[in-house]
Chains A and B, each alone.
Chain A
């Protein structure tokens, strides 16, 4: 069990999550774009999904979400649900292309992040919070998604590192190479 933990993604995801969480709670609270706080942890979850598929993306999203909820005092599991969805959606979208270009990865990351951000008020409504849907939700989703797309060239490789994955290398089949 210990060996599987050490060799699994969590050994890298948790320290990275601590750093991202600290960044989220310091610099990203200060550097708002149009009054919207950029969600780097949500973007990281989506980027991990793009890098490693929906399952791994969901695991990374769940881990980051639980850390976020513990630190922020939000209902435990509310942000974790949203980030799990973000990672899963990012991974599902990545199935469209076998070896996506960087700009495709950026689009997938943005869409995964947007799905996660839109999910937060839905979860809050589910647990009985009054009026979680704000009028500026569309603006928030758009800004956060665009920011995630901009950060994806950094976050997707970081996601691969967390998941101990390498970019797929497509080789010519042996038979075709000899002919």
Chain B
């Protein structure tokens, strides 16, 4: 039987004082502790790898039991989403071809000129408080504390700790995470895409119209760029990708500005589309065409190429601060000033990073979509719940945006 005594109490107190001392040293920053962490990580790595191998079958059985129905439902939803994307992508590519011919928008701040580093997610946080992942790239790859981390879908988080060969990334859902964002109106094009369209974005009934043949632009198949030195668990290479927000051309690579050689973003291309639409309207009026968004290159017996482009009207509504709220809760945007006379913040609005000279995240990284609005009394403005584009529960590969804010670059 354990006996409680003053001596035992002293031991417990001594241990608690030791933890307080360690906390003080670590919070203030101590190279010895940092070296200790790296050394311990080296010791843990083989143990963790071996444990992972042994427990993998158990994990699979667990997921098989608990997630089977969800996976089945998700598979169906993804198939539907894929079908829709195939249709919209070809329409977007056609718009990009037109946009490439216009050189109107130069030197706007964009994501496309920023280098990124691909990293594999090697671990998740093992406690219930922190939302942190570990990646297998560190300071030797140019990664620094504060850099934004994205995946194909959008913003994932930011780097908070860096060692030589690894880094820790605080996810957007972590309670300590904050980033400046802007809320924009939902894209008209995104909402107006018909469910049954041809690759050019036309409905099947519009594809054949009398003697006029409507054709869609088919892009030549090219090999997908590969990330060097990174392979998937099955040995297959990892396709290289661009930052979210960077527009791809018909060849699967970023559309380059002929004047500067820098890739164009979706925003810039949207601007180019607008110019193209204006030009198209003029052409259409001259040709006495009823629909101003239809470009008719020739008429008569020769085949006619018709491309319909819906212009996405994006309005910057408001700027605010996105804050994570923990594992099971959606991040929220606060510090908003709702001005109904200008525009109303509603569910469905898009959220992307705002950037700025002090911000560690460049402007234009897609974050998510507003799913709920909660009004607060007084002048505190509404709160917006944001559903993230990135699925933070299933991160395999991410990209660290090697970006420094302008304030640091100047120094």
Contacts and interface: CB of A to CB of B under 8 A. Distances in A.
A94 B3 CA distance: 10
A52 to B, nearest CB: 7
A144 B128 CA distance: 10
B126 A37 contact: yes
Given A26-B55, A53-B2, A71-B44, A134 B129 contact: yes
Contacts of B2: 52-55, 91, 94-95
A128 B24 CA distance: 11
Contact of B175 (A37, A75, A130): A130
Contacts of A80: 19, 22
Contacts of A130: 175-176
Interface size, A (range): 35 or more
B130 A18 contact: no
Contact of B328 (A19, A24, A35, A73): A35
B19 A24 contact: no
Contact of B19 (A29, A84, A136): A84
A91 B2 CA distance: 7
B1 A58 contact: no
Contacts of B47: 18-19, 21-22
B124 A77 contact: no
A22 B54 CA distance: 11
B382 interface: no
Contact of A55 (B8, B18, B58): B8
A12 interface: no
A135 B326 CA distance: 9
Most central of B4, B20, B22, B43 by chain A CB within 10 Å: B22
Interface in B52-74: 52, 55, 58-59, 62-63
A94 B125 CA distance: 32
Given A73-B161, A76-B22, A77-B21, A62 B15 contact: yes
B11 interface: yes
Interface string A86-126: 00100110110011000000000000000001001101100
B33 A24 contact: no
Name the prevailing secondary structure of the A interface residues.
Answer: helix
Contacts of A24: 126
A35 B176 contact: no
Contacts of A28: 126
Contacts of B325: 134
Contacts of A120: 127, 129
A9 interface: no
A58 B52 CA distance: 29
B326 to A, nearest CB: 5
Interface in B1-50: 1-4, 7-8, 11-12, 15-16, 18-23, 25-27, 33, 36-37, 40-41, 43-44, 47-48, 50
B12 to A, nearest CB: 5
A76 B15 contact: no
B287 to A, nearest CB: 60
A80 B62 CA distance: 30
Given A77-B20, A168-B1, 16 more contacts: A19-B47, A19-B51, A21-B48, A55-B7, A55-B8, A67-B40, A72-B126, A76-B22, A77-B19, A88-B12, A121-B129, A123-B23, A127-B23, A128-B27, A132-B129, A140-B128
Q: Which 8 A-B pairs have the closest CB atoms?
A: A53-B2, A77-B22, A22-B51, A77-B23, A77-B19, A76-B26, A55-B8, A27-B55
20 contacts: A22-B48, A22-B52, A26-B52, A26-B55, A27-B51, A30-B62, A31-B58, A58-B11, A62-B18, A65-B19, A70-B40, A76-B37, A79-B127, A81-B16, A117-B128, A127-B23, A127-B27, A129-B176, A134-B129, A140-B128
